[in-house]
Amino acid sequence: MLKKLFFVLPILLVLLACSKTAFTGRKQLNLIPTQTINQLSFTEYKTFLQQNKTLSSGKEVDMVRRIGNDLRAAVDVYYKAKNMQKDLKDFAWEFNVVDDANTVNAFCMPGGKVVVYTGILKVTQNEDALACVMGHEIAHALANHGNERMSQGMVAQLGLSSLDLALSQQPAATRQVLMNAAGAGAQVGVLLPFSRKHETEADEIGLYLMAMAGYNANEAGPFWERMNKLGGSRPAAFLSTHPDPAKRSQTLKSLIPKAQAYARRYPVTASSRYKK
């Protein structure tokens, strides 16, 4: 009886930990408390900024923070309309720019910690495309992709579905899973890409966010086409597990009417915007 209970309990815990992503409603496994993963994220984000050349002022910083706050306002408007504000209580939004012209990348860690490298600005070329990039990265955090990847890692690599149990039985391995899932340290957004399923979902949510924030969703497709051309025969690291460029542009184009409908239904007004 006890042996059977020991076998069934992890399954029950997994079932209880299932949730749905915002916007798309996809079912996912989230075993880690949001506060736990966010605190880890905040610590690693702080370390990352200290180890890289982070800009404190300038036109790039102003632009990134303005767009970031527009997207944040869109998130708040939508979550308030859906009575989901509690899902954002552990977020601590931050938008920073790293001066690295050779790195064509951006990322958002769990809890709303965003970094944009100056190298990607030569590809975005305009604020609408940058809003597409930042919306996509923020979508990863809103959809709890880090938590989902962490939870899958705990089950697949450790065979455990309880964080406390994993930490007590396999502390070193568990911490490594936590770090990898959060995209910690120097590997953030580069060596630990999300799955294609996550990337496709982030594309969709990001498109809705940029439209709600007042940006032109039609710029999403052309931006990803520029990103693909940048890699030549070898795709850029940013595209390593992203959807096929042609299919991606086609999918984004098909979602534009829905994104525009979101913008009409959940508009970001002047009173709901944040200052940079």
Count of beta carbons in the 10 Å neighbourhood of residue 257: 10
Tokens read off for 2: 């006890």
Instruction: State the Cα–Cα distance between residues 115 and 52, nearest whole angstrom.
Output: 11
Between strands 18-20 and 27-29, the pairing is: antiparallel
Query: How much is the CA Rg of the chain, to the nearest whole Å?
Result: 19
Instruction: State the Cα–Cα distance between residues 19 and 144, nearest whole angstrom.
Output: 10
**Per residue in 84-116, is it b (16+ CB within 10 Å) or e — as a string?**
eeebbebbebbbbbbeeeebbbbbbbbbbbbbb
Active site residue: 44, 94, 137, 199, which one?
137
Q: Distance from CA of residue 182 to its chain's centroid?
A: 10
- Decide: 45 and 239 in contact? Cβ < 8 Å: no
Examine the residue annotation and report whether 127 is marked as an active-site residue of this protein.
no
Cβ neighbours of residue 131 under 8 Å, at least 6 residues apart? 67, 70, 71, 210, 213, 215, 219
Cβ neighbours of residue 59 under 8 Å, at least 6 residues apart? none
Provide the annotated active-site residues: 137
